[in-house]
Amino acid sequence: MITKPPVIAIDGPSGVGKGTLCKELSKKLQWYALNSGIIYRALAIAALHNQVDISAEEALIPLVSHLINLNFTPHEKEIKVILAGKDISMKIHDQQVSDVASRVALFPRLRQKMLSVQHSFRVFPGLVAEGRDMGTIVFPDACVKIFLDANAKARTHRRMLQLQDNGVSVNFNQLLSQIEERDERDLHRSISPLITTDDALIIDSTNMSIQKVIEIALHYTRIQLAKA
């Protein structure tokens, strides 16, 4: 019997370490990885590049077709992102792009259109997908669901180190308020808000190293996969 490729869904707020966990699990299992935030960020870049009004859902929807040409490949530190043949890796984490991505992500019809882009990543032997609504909306039948959490200060600290590692200097308080602002939008939007569900393992990583998070998630994943 041919079933759909299995999915591990990882959800959580921005800067919590979902990307690292997703990369590590996909490496260990030799499965594909989907960082869904990059899809929203690529759409934001396309909107900015084409000077599309980001408050107009109808104007943004045609841009989803640009994402057919979106490719991302693991890179040493960051993911290399190519949109329509252009390397947009350097822009993907810009503050303006982060802000626009979380604003365009509020539109219900746009999110609906983004589903097929995300579903196209579901291929054998399996997919590790991370975002805000992986286990609830995009892959509700995922065989493993993990909700990774940490308080805003811990996430700001991690994001700051990551940015510094990439040569970007930032102010802690400024970054904290940007993260809190994005949390507010991601948590309280009417469509696909970031929520925990009963079938997800919740890991609060506020006082935990990423190595420990990976260890817990991998152990849980192996148990769930053995049951599936």
Residue ranges for the known binding site for ATP are 12-20
Distance CA 205, CA 228 (A): 26
Return the residue matching tokens 């960082």. Answer: 35
Does position 122 interact with ligand DC (CB under 6 A)? The reply is no
Q: How far is CA 141 from the centre of its chain?
A: 18
| Cβ 22 to ligand DC shortest distance, Å | 10
Other CB atoms within 10 A of residue 214 CB: 17
Binding residues for ligand DC, how many (CB under 6 A)?
14
Which of 7, 8, 21, 41 contacts ligand DC by CB under 6 A?
Answer: 41
Question: Which residues are registered as beta bridge partners of 145?
Answer: 9
- Binders in 164-223 for ligand DC, by CB under 6 A: 182, 186
Does position 159 interact with ligand DC (CB under 6 A)? The reply is no
| Cβ 170 to ligand DC shortest distance, Å | 15
Which parts of the chain fold into alpha helices (H)? 18-29, 36-49, 57-60, 95-104, 108-119, 152-165, 172-188, 210-227
- Helix and strand tally (H, E) in the chain? 8, 8
Which of 21, 29, 105, 175 contacts ligand DC by CB under 6 A?
Answer: 105
Which of 132, 145, 155, 159 contacts ligand DC by CB under 6 A?
Answer: 132
- Binders in 71-90 for ligand DC, by CB under 6 A: none
Near ligand DC by CB under 6 A, which window of 34-42, 50-58, 83-91, 213-221?
34-42
| Cβ 145 to ligand DC shortest distance, Å | 13
Q: How many CA atoms lie within 13 A of 175 on its CB side?
A: 22
| Cβ 181 to ligand DC shortest distance, Å | 10
| Cβ 101 to ligand DC shortest distance, Å | 4
Is residue 14 helix, strand or coil?
coil
Does position 36 interact with ligand DC (CB under 6 A)? The reply is yes
Residues in CB range of 155: below 8 A, 6 or more apart: 13, 14, 15, 16, 179
